[in-house]
Amino acid sequence: MNAEKLFEEAKKYIPGGVNSPLRAFKPYPFFVERGEGPYLFDTDGNKYIDYCLAYGPLILGHADPQVVNALNKQASLGTAYGAPTEGEITLAKEVVDRIPSAEKVRFVNSGGEATMSAIRVARGFTGRDKIVKFEGAYHGAHDYCLLKKGSTTEAIPDCKGIPLDTAKNTLIIPYNDEDALIKLIDEEGENIACIILEVIMGNIGFIPPKPGFLELLREITEENGIVLIFDEVITGFRLSRGGAQEYYNVTPDLTTLGKIVGGGLPMGAYCGKKEIMDVTAPVGPVYQAGTFSGNPMSVTAGINMLKQLDDNTYSNLDEKGTYLRESMEDIIEDLDLNIKPVGAGSMYQVYFNPNDVVNSNDAKASDAKRFLIYFKELLKEGIFIPPSQFECNFLSTTHTTEDLDQTIITIEKALKIAFEK
């Protein structure tokens, strides 16, 4: 069936026709039939080179043969037991071996569940209620974090359905703002359980930390007994083998993981120092649980994906990312456009914005109208990126040089159309 009809049908039974809001771009999304390597095939017979990659997990592309084989085997042995398996230890060891801050890890079912649990653990560990997040950072769709900055540092709900009372324990400041951070900790330090951040803000495009900002965060949290949480749901196993903390050489107390850790199946995790992790039930007083947590399907996929990610993988991805970004820079220069390509490793985005973007206010000043034209033109020509410049684009190991070259030609065409050149 064609996408337009499917979308009409879907809207009858599913709110907005989709199970996560971003998927509902106008006039209607394409419906996927299958994925293979870097490609998606839709129900209308179109093929796309995919740079959305399910918003991050598919670092080996779609349907990686090793992951698929392992899943086939596991499926015939059962998909959930409500009892532990040896695989959970194998995957936990992989995480501990790779992520510098990880001494122990608890597996959950999504990135959002990971941040929610890590925040509860930080509160339980410190006996404090308040938390700090940064403006524009996304940590999942739960009440602790789906908040925005009010007129002061106090958070207010970012959507209907979240009580003001829930918001009042969250404080929000702009990212990369050292003065705001120092002032807030001066005033509220002893009440703050944790500071949670996306080291690279990937849910508002791509905003890296300014030099020195992570070091300041590490120092100020240590001095004030605050748990430092890196939300590496995107960057974990993506930016480098050990994530953003290895890339920037700053080690947090807790780390949240998702996306890649489940090998393409639903999973999240939080990990960190033993003494903090051990406040989690059943050893400690902070309750945390899940029917499908550490289920053998997600664990099998996670093990078989992580085992394929070595230093070569990351240098290969870096090469591809650099090639793509440099080619985009050349195009932008040739066309004399005043816009900013950004990114690192296998992550990239282009802000339709003449200025440097260091926080969410900068990002929001970008030209959304022209970006939408760019997105639609790319899609029409068989290149799928997330439908917003406030998302990151991703590369996989399966993207070929031919794919990249075709993408670069198409990007040039789409930019010309978006900027009427």
Ligand X SMILES: *Cc1c(COP(=O)(O)O)cnc(C)c1O
Of 50, 231, 253, 403, catalytic: 231
Piece in contact with ligand X (CB under 6 A), picked from 62-70, 78-86, 157-165, 196-204: 196-204
Kindly tell me which residue out of 101, 115, 117, 298 binds ligand X, with binding defined by CB under 6 A: 115
Residues 6+ apart with CB under 8 A from 84: 294
CB of 183 to ligand X, least distance (A): 25
Distances (CA, A) of 332 to 233, 354, 411: 31, 12, 10
Count the residues of the shown chain that bind ligand X, applying the rule CB under 6 A. Answer: 15
Question: Which stretch in 96-104, 110-118, 271-279, 362-370 sits in contact with ligand X by CB under 6 A?
Answer: 110-118
Q: Which of 67, 207, 233, 250 binds ligand X (CB under 6 A)?
A: 233
* 234 belongs to the binding site for ligand X (CB under 6 A): yes
CB 347 → ligand X: shortest distance, Å? 11
Return the number of the residue (257 or 331) whose C-beta is nearest ligand X: 257
Site string for ligand X, 125-164 (x = CB under 6 A): -------------xxx------------------------
3-state secondary structure the chain: CCHHHHHHHHHHHCHHHCCCHHHCCCCCCCCEEEEEECEEEECCCCEEEECCHHHCCCCCCECCHHHHHHHHHHHHHCCCCCCCCHHHHHHHHHHHHHCCCCCEEEEECCHHHHHHHHHHHHHHHHCCCEEEEECCCCCCCCCCCCEEECCCCEEEECCCCCCHHHHCCEEEECCCCHHHHHHHHHHHHHHEEEEEECCCECCCCCECCCCCHHHHHHHHHHHCCCEEEEECCCCCCCCCCCHHHHHHCCCCCEEEECHHHHCCCCCEEEEECHHHHCCECCCCCECCCCCCCCCHHHHHHHHHHHCCCCHHHHHHHHHHHHHHHHHHHHHHHHCCCCCEEEEECCEEEEECCCCCCCCHHHHHCCCHHHHHHHHHHHHHCCEECCCCCCCCEECCCCCCHHHHHHHHHHHHHHHHHHCCC
What string marks each residue from 264 to 283 as x (binds ligand X by CB under 6 A) or -?
A: ----x---------------
- State the minimum distance, in angstroms, from the CB of residue 199 to ligand X: 9
Residue 206 CB, shortest distance to ligand X, in Å, is 12
Residues in 331-390 at the binding interface with ligand X, rule: CB under 6 A: none
421 carries an active-site annotation: no
Q: Based on the shown chain and the rule CB under 6 A, indicate whether residue 231 belongs to the binding site for ligand X.
A: yes
Q: Is there binding between residue 124 and ligand X (CB under 6 A)? A: no
57 binds ligand X (CB under 6 A): no
Distance (Å, whole) CA 49 – CA 209: 30
Nearer of residues 199 and 303 to ligand X, judged by Cβ: 199
Instruction: Give the angle 189-194-195 at the CA atoms, nearest 5°.
Output: 90
Instruction: Show contacts with ligand X in window 237-256 (CB under 6 A).
Output: none
Is residue 298 within the footprint of ligand X (CB under 6 A)?
no
Instruction: Tell me whether residue 231 is one of the annotated catalytic residues.
Output: yes
Q: Is 294 in the site for ligand X (CB under 6 A)?
A: no
Residue 138 designated active-site: yes
Nearer to ligand X, 299 or 414 (CB): 299
Active-site entry in 259, 314, 348, 374: 259
> Binding of ligand X at residue 111 (CB under 6 A)?
yes
Q: Does 50 bind ligand X (CB under 6 A)?
A: no
Q: Is 112 in the site for ligand X (CB under 6 A)?
A: yes
Give the binding site for ligand X (CB under 6 A): 110-112, 115, 138-140, 198, 202-203, 231, 233-234, 258, 268
What amino acid positions are annotated as catalytic residues? 138, 231, 259
